[in-house]
Structure 1
Amino acid sequence: MNSKPRIVIVSETFPPDYSGAGLGAQFLAKNLKKRDILYKIITRTKNRFIDENSSFYIDEIKFYRIVYFQQLLNRFTNNRYLKLLILFLDFPFVFIKTTFFFFRNKNQVDLFFFVSTKWISLILSFWCVLFRKKYIIETTLLGHDDPIVNTTKKYIWFKKTIKNFQFKNAYAVTNISMLLTNQCYKFGLSSEKVYTIPRSVNVAKFHPQKGKVKTGLKKGLLENSNSYPIILFTGVLIARKGIDIVYNTFKEILNDYPDAVLIFAGPQGAPGQEMHLNEIIRDIKTEGIEKHVVFSGSVTNIEDYFNIADVFFFPSREEGFGRVFIEAMACDLPVVTKEIEGITDYIFGNNENGIVVKSDNITDFVCAIKNVLEDSNLRKSLIVNAQLKVNNEFSEEEVLNKYFKLFETVLKTS
């Protein structure tokens, strides 16, 4: 880009809140800031990292925070009627604050970039259309922010109206996987308007450790550094991520590998999402396998966990992309996952870079994990192919080039 435009990133979540979309927004924000083209970030995340040594810290970026009352309520109740009441009380506040931002800053902003589609982006897209300001939408999760509305959801007529308005008036729609790109085509968007830009991995942070370094990490993170195999899961501990599959598969693995350890690295879900987690915790106590299952909570050094594990097991039922896949691959950690059409085939091909199980059968997952552990040739092949895939398609440089080409194209559009 020849001149320096001013870009606003709108992301409902942002680190330190745990979210794949938020991490994507943070990555883009850091790099826009380096080029001095980031104007502000609009988010509903209340807190921010002030530790300059944290990977989440971004120096001198201006945040505009719109905190929902409903967001605060989510921490204390799962009563949907109470949430609906708060939502109606919430909207005027969000509308006023978002509108105030737009009119105060519209002359300084060249482009709005909406990470996902929620209330804030809806209000801004309305004003953008009215005042001919350009905006781009990035979709991140099937059934949540893609243009196709699930017909089983409530208030479908209202949601369809919103989707039609936002997506048809966007100057471009970028998607983090082919699955989401295909949704845009089904919706009727032209190919000139639709882009696919995947998530990236920071290979300076996510890279394999060997020898004494790896041994030291094991001693620091595990009570028994001689445990084998170490099965790792990372993500929010909710049903959508497949934690029930992870746990039930591990119990079978434990029968053949009595020193095995399962690590759940990630935070608990919001109220109402604890069903499988509570069942797992109760069963761990009943089975007396507490020393074999580790709950690390949310961690900022997940790369260390990738480097001590023997298999990354992530049988998620629904993803927009799955950044953790490529982070594990960059650390030479073989991946076993569940098929998600348009995502796992995009990342793993025909099982060249990881093992994709095309069923929900626990026995199939057990066999896949044991094959990775016991077949050294298969393991080496997966690691080599995964590194090639990461370097060629998911490096930060490659992904950033796609973003900047997109911005350049949209800004030139009349």
Structure 2
Amino acid sequence: MSGLKLVFVIYTLQKGGAERVLSTLGNSFSERAYEVVIVCMNDAEQGYPLAEGIRVIPLLKRKYKQNVFRRLIYGMLTYFRLLGVLLREKPYCVISFMTSANLWTGLSCGLLKIPYIVSERTTPDHTINRFNFFFKWMSYFVYSGSKAVVVPAKGIEACLKNNGIFNRLTNYSIIRNPVYVFKSKEHLIVHHRKFILGVGRLSYEKGFDQLIDAFSKLRIKNIDLIIVGQGLEKPNLTAQINRLNLQDRVILAGAKDDLQDYYNQAELFVLPSRNEGYPNALIEAMSSGCPCVAVDCEFGPSEIIEDGQNGILVPQGNIPAMTKAMFNVLFDLSLKKKLGNEARLIGQTNSLEVISDKWEALILSPA
């Protein structure tokens, strides 16, 4: 069925988990000889590389701090410009990521009778489940008309079903995130000492303050902590590091495009998140054979890690348990080796080929 046109819709293509997955899938379908178009509801800097044949169409530039009138105008422009793009492109199927893009896509495709798939990537408690009565019913109407509601974790489906009317949907489909394959072939020494690694956006929900607290209680002098990422929490994390007198041992390394050397050289990877959708950094670290400790947050870690087999799960908010888990992995060499070896298997179950096959089967399935 190659040669068909697919349109992907997302808010922006800047750096983020959903953006990385969509970019990766777009590249994969382009390689499979599909014509791929990506529509961005808001024009922003592109965070990940795209195949040469992929076209990106921004709908408009949004100015923030808008009043109600400007938001209404923005909504109308978004809807009519998306309608115009879909009328012009005439895609075989439209695939949208994240709630706002899902709603505009469903309303547009429903009017134009174009098959579409929606995908929720984060906890619905922060999006749909907070909507008022009208928007919940509109969301249900849009999602029920889609070929599938794709979620990366079973927990996201369960959370959606907690929202009464969404329990009626029968078109849920779980497709995991693919393991991202880094392009760089260089092998660089990223740090001169042993280190524990954290990766993600510097935001409260990612829980790096918890990781820094747990690391401070390790009392091990010959190992550092490197946190790769950028975000609004950096000043608070910097203040915390200074308060704990860890300036020489905790490094906020900023954002990095190629992380394979960090994963390969880390003694241990820790995911300290308060909530997730399906953590890309965790599966990347595991596929590199890096032993992992993860907070058992909603959602994803408990569906990725079998505790004690291919990683260690610790309870949410339990700093002593995180410290103990890190200590055990670092000093129990047989456990460390076992966790790393078992973790590598996710590179097979979540390979881009396997995940793309599942998406392709869904796209080509009868409406």
- 1:404 correspondence with 2:360: yes
Shift, 1:98, TM fit = 4.0
Query: Residues 246, 110 of structure 1: CA spacing in aligned structure 2 closer, same or farther, 3 A cutoff?
Result: same
C-alpha RMSD over aligned residues: 2.5
Structure 2 distance, partners of 1:144, 1:88, is 27
Query: Residues 57, 114 of structure 1: CA spacing in aligned structure 2 closer, same or farther, 3 A cutoff?
Result: closer
**Partner residue in 1 for 2:93:** 111
1:138 counterpart (105, 108, 119): 119
2:271 counterpart (314, 326, 329): 314
Superposition pairs for residues 14-413 of structure 1, below 5 Å?
14=13, 17-43=14-40, 44-48=42-46, 56-70=49-63, 73=64, 83=65, 85=67, 88-106=69-87, 108-118=90-100, 120-143=101-124, 149-150=129-130, 156-186=132-162, 187-191=166-170, 193-203=171-181, 213=187, 217-218=188-189, 221-222=190-191, 225=192, 227-228=193-194, 230-253=195-218, 255=219, 257-269=220-232, 274=233, 277-341=234-298, 343-391=300-348, 393-409=349-365, 412-413=366-367
The one-letter code of the counterpart of 1:318 is N
Gaps of 5+ in 1: 50-54, 74-82
SS in 2 for 1:149: helix
Shift, 1:327, TM fit = 0.3
SS in 2 for 1:180: helix
Checking the alignment, whether the CA contact within 8 Å between 2:330 and 2:336 is kept in structure 1 is: yes
- State the TM-score, normalized to the length of structure 1: 0.80
Query: Residues 185, 89 of structure 1: CA spacing in aligned structure 2 closer, same or farther, 3 A cutoff?
Result: same
Shift, 1:46, TM fit = 2.0
SS in 2 for 1:40: strand
SS in 1 for 2:254: coil
> Sequence identity, in percent?
23
Query: Residues 349, 235 of structure 1: CA spacing in aligned structure 2 closer, same or farther, 3 A cutoff?
Result: same
Query: Residues 317, 24 of structure 1: CA spacing in aligned structure 2 closer, same or farther, 3 A cutoff?
Result: same
Checking the alignment, whether the CA contact within 8 Å between 2:23 and 2:50 is kept in structure 1 is: no
Query: Residues 105, 130 of structure 1: CA spacing in aligned structure 2 closer, same or farther, 3 A cutoff?
Result: closer
Residues 149-199 of structure 1 show CA distances to partners (whole Å, capped at 9, x for unaligned) of 13xxxx6224313322221221211111111232455522444x2111000
SS in 2 for 1:352: coil
Shift, 1:9, TM fit = 0.1
Query: Residues 178, 104 of structure 1: CA spacing in aligned structure 2 closer, same or farther, 3 A cutoff?
Result: closer
Structure 2 distance, partners of 1:45, 1:369, is 41
Residues 228-254 of structure 1 show CA distances to partners (whole Å, capped at 9, x for unaligned) of 3x111110111100111011011112x
**Partner residue in 2 for 1:10:** 9
Query: Residues 278, 380 of structure 1: CA spacing in aligned structure 2 closer, same or farther, 3 A cutoff?
Result: same
Shift, 1:203, TM fit = 5.0
Checking the alignment, whether the CA contact within 8 Å between 2:216 and 2:244 is kept in structure 1 is: no
Structure 2 distance, partners of 1:381, 1:314, is 19
Checking the alignment, whether the CA contact within 8 Å between 1:29 and 1:38 is kept in structure 2 is: no
SS in 1 for 2:38: strand
Shift, 1:145, TM fit = 7.5
SS in 1 for 2:226: strand
The one-letter code of the counterpart of 2:44 is K
- State the TM-score, normalized to the length of structure 2: 0.90
Checking the alignment, whether the CA contact within 8 Å between 2:310 and 2:339 is kept in structure 1 is: yes
Checking the alignment, whether the CA contact within 8 Å between 1:95 and 1:123 is kept in structure 2 is: no
Gaps of 5+ in 2: none
Query: Residues 199, 138 of structure 1: CA spacing in aligned structure 2 closer, same or farther, 3 A cutoff?
Result: same
Residues 185-217 of structure 1 show CA distances to partners (whole Å, capped at 9, x for unaligned) of 5522444x211100011456599x9xxx5xxx3
Query: Residues 130, 397 of structure 1: CA spacing in aligned structure 2 closer, same or farther, 3 A cutoff?
Result: same
Deviates more, 1:338-347 or 1:323-332: 338-347
Residues 42-95 of structure 1 show CA distances to partners (whole Å, capped at 9, x for unaligned) of 11242237xxxxx6142132111134434xx3xxxxxxxxx351x641442353
Structure 2 distance, partners of 1:104, 1:390, is 36
Query: Residues 170, 299 of structure 1: CA spacing in aligned structure 2 closer, same or farther, 3 A cutoff?
Result: same
